[in-house]
Structure formats: C-alpha cells, structure tokens
Amino acid sequence: MTKKLRYAMVGGGQGAFIGAVHRKALAIDGQAELVAGALASTPERARASGRELGLADDRNHADWQALLDDELARSADERVDFVSIVTPNHLHHPVAKAFAEAGIHVVCDKPLVHTSEQAEDLLRTVERSGSVFGVTYNYSGYPMVREARALVAAGAIGEVRKVVVEYHQGWLATKLEGSDNKQAGWRTDPARSGAAGALGDIGSHAENLVATVTGLELESLCADLGTFVAGRQLDDDASLLLRFKGGARGVLMATQIAVGCENDLRLRVFGSTGTLDWRQEQPDTLVHAPIDGPRRLLTRGSPWLGESARLATRLPAGHPEAFIEAFANVYLGVIARIRALQQGVAPEPLHADHPTLADGARGVRFIEKALQSAASTQKWTAF
C-alpha cells in the first residue's frame, strides 16, 4: 500500500469554511493525512482548532512560524511533505515563500497573492528550491471541465471564436460584513482580501476556467467594476470584455450581489463548428452542440469520455460528484507530482494535473489589469 503523504495546514480552523473543504477533499482518496498545523490567527483559537482535529500537542502550533521551525527541526522521515495554505489572502505570500524556501511543497488557495511583484517573487523562490506548488482553482478539477478541455484541444468545436463565463452569487447583496460573518469580514477588507472584491474572489475562478478549458491567452481587456452596497470598500460586481491572441473574443461577469443566485458559474465556448456549455450547479453534464448534428448531453462517468475525465471520476454515472471531489482531484494532481519527484521519475501529465504557480501568477495579473482598466474609465488595457 502506498504510504500516505504527511501535510500541515495553515489557517482553516474554527469557523472557517474553506479549510474544512480542503481537509475533506484530502481525506477522500486516502493519499495524505493531516499531522501538523497552525490553524488560526490567535494562539488560543489555533490550538483549540488543532485539538478538535486530533493533532498531537507537539505539532499543534500557535502560529505558522512556529510550525515551520518545528518541521525543519524534525528528521526528513518525520517532516511534512507539503503544506496547505487556506488563510485570508494577505498571508499567502509570506507563508508560501517561507515553506517553499525551506524545500517543503506548497498548495495555496486562490487568488495567489496581492500583487504581481509577490507572484514573481514566489516564481523565483520555487525555481530555486524546486518545490512543487499547486493553486486550488478547484473548478479545474471537475471531470466535465476536463472533458471540455479535451474536446477543445481535439478540435471538436473547431476554432474558438467567443467565450462567455458568468459567475453569479447573491450572498453579499447586503452589508453582511457589518455582522459577525467571518467570511464576509475578511473578503471585503482590502487589507486582507487585496485590492479586488468579487473580481478577486470569484472573477479569478472565472478567468482560470476559461484558460483551463480553451488554452487561450489574453491580449487585452476592458473592465467595469462596481460597488452596489453602500459603505463597501471593494467591488461586488464586475463585467469585462476580453480579447484573446488569435482573434477570439470573450465576456466575463462576476457578481456577488445577484439576489437569488447561490453559486451559479457557467461557461460557454463557441467555436466555428460547435459549442460547449457547462454549469457548476449541474456539474456532471456537459452540452456539446455540433454544427452538423443534434445537441449531445455528455454525462460524467460515461465510458466514452476522454481519459482525463475518467481519471477525475470516482463514482458510476448517475451518482453525483461535485465540489469537494473537484478539490480532491486538484490535490491528487499535486500529490502525483510530489510522489514522482520523490521517486526521481517524470510525472505522468494526466495524473499530475493541477493548476500551477504560473496559473496563479497569471490570475494575479488578470486582477491587476482589470483594476487598471476600471480605474481609467473602462479603457482597453493590454495584458
């Protein structure tokens, strides 16, 4: 039996939504176990969170610096293999850099960091250290997203002409940050979230989804950012026009004030000979509409799907898989890359399939360019 990798977690303690999602995702396939952590921003909550998760006292730390110091003092056969960073955004850069410099592999939540300078710093750090680095754009882990990527690459819809990606949520339609809602508090705070609100939180997912499925490279963009809730410091609504190298066009919408919407992410890719249509709230289906035949409804788990979709599937067709499993697929890709490095072999691309540090850096640049465009009264801005 393959030995489980050991991981530590920074952030994700009591009251945190995404940390629990990451831990559940990592538990699904039995490939890794949580052995250490610094799980909250105060020593008391950090240790209380670790005790709830059953961490040993000597690996349940008050802060991430103590966690890293302790791991480096341990022998190689006891040290963690990777760290999962699920803190608010402002901590991503210092924590990721410190662990990567120490030669510990890193998985970081998105958006990667606050600035392109920080992203470039991480790229240089990882190049020196050789650490594996994954970014949890979890929607790239859905089987039917991977099937859509394979169909585009195989020419099933011809040349991509236009892409429309929409991400509608309604949970911030009121000033929720004025309550005790922890998620709303930090996501609307420029000091912790960064310079963007909805654009950074969910617009970055939309950008990554387009890049993952189509492989298109942005050439320029024109952004209109708005804040509808009085007193809110960051955007809660974003509309962008996109131009890609090669001539394709795109529209990206990301809003968190769409009353009645929950997690309504939709991608449509229009090609010269067909269209693909995927919705996150019905994630097990992908519509393929060819120019010369009837619409096809492709379903997850079907035997005629491509290998990348099959590898990302655990249950037979008709047994729903979704959000947590998509995270698990991203982690499986990172783990496969770590294992290959440990064994001194080249990773198999379809197994080591995950968003990379370069993807995260591109996402940061996307946010910055959109902010630049919006600040110049929606001028087209070169990417």
Closest alpha carbon to 65 in 8, 17, 19: 8
- Is residue 354, in this structure, part of any structural domain at all? no
pLDDT mean across residues, the chain: 97
Give the type of residue at 252.
L
Contact 277, 287 (CB under 8 A): yes
The answer on pLDDT for 345 being more than 80 is yes
**Residue 213: alpha-carbon gap to chain centroid:** 14
Q: Residues 112, 198: one domain? A: no
pLDDT at 245: 98
- Is residue 167, in this structure, part of any structural domain at all? yes
Q: Residues 369, 257: one domain? A: yes
Tracing tokens 């968003």 back to the chain, one arrives at 355
Average pLDDT over residues 335-339: 98
Q: Residues 120, 147: one domain? A: no
The answer on pLDDT for 105 being more than 80 is yes
- Is residue 236, in this structure, part of any structural domain at all? yes
Q: Residues 170, 116: one domain? A: no
pLDDT in tens, 291-324: 999 999 999 999 999 999 999 999 999 999 999 9
Number of domains observed in the structure of the chain: 2
Distance CA 40, CA 21 (A): 16
Q: Residues 131, 170: one domain? A: no
CB-side exposure of 37: number of CA atoms within 13 Å? 31
Running DSSP on this structure, what letter comes out for residue 146? H
pLDDT at 15: 87
- Is residue 322, in this structure, part of any structural domain at all? no
Q: Residues 307, 181: one domain? A: yes
Range of the domain at 88: 5-136
- Is residue 338, in this structure, part of any structural domain at all? no
pLDDT at 374: 97
What percent of the chain has pLDDT above 70?
A: 100
Integer angstrom CA distances of residue 100 from 12, 77, 97, 189, 251 = 20, 18, 5, 27, 36
Distance CA 78, CA 35 (A): 10
- Is residue 324, in this structure, part of any structural domain at all? no
Mark which of 109, 136, 163 sits at the end of a domain: 136
Q: Which two tokens stand for residue 155?
A: 């020419």
Tracing tokens 């559940």 back to the chain, one arrives at 24
pLDDT band for position 1 (50/70/90)? low
Give the type of residue at 319.
H
Q: Residues 190, 64: one domain? A: no
The structure's pTM equals 0.97
pLDDT band for position 378 (50/70/90)? confident
The CATH code of the domain that includes 9 is: 3.40.50.720
pLDDT band for position 2 (50/70/90)? confident
- Is residue 346, in this structure, part of any structural domain at all? no
Q: Residues 42, 146: one domain? A: no
Q: Residues 283, 167: one domain? A: yes
Q: Residues 127, 10: one domain? A: yes
Rg (CA), the chain: 21
Q: Which residues contact 312 (CB under 8 A, 6 or more apart)?
A: 141, 142, 143, 146, 329, 353
The CATH code of the domain that includes 305 is: 3.30.360.10
The answer on pLDDT for 106 being more than 80 is yes
Mark which of 81, 114, 136 sits at the end of a domain: 136
Q: Residues 307, 167: one domain? A: yes
- Is residue 327, in this structure, part of any structural domain at all? no
Q: Residues 149, 296: one domain? A: yes
pLDDT at 112: 98
**Residue 287: alpha-carbon gap to chain centroid:** 24
Tracing tokens 């610096």 back to the chain, one arrives at 65
pLDDT band for position 232 (50/70/90)? very high
Distance CA 12, CA 15 (A): 8
Contact 309, 143 (CB under 8 A): yes
Alpha helices, DSSP H, located in 53-173? 64-73, 92-101, 116-129, 143-153
> With the CA atoms of 340, 122, 357 and 108 taken in that order, what torsion angle do they form, in degrees rounded to the nearest 10?
90
Mark which of 101, 117, 136 sits at the end of a domain: 136
Average pLDDT over residues 189-218: 98
CB atoms within 10 A of CB 344: 6
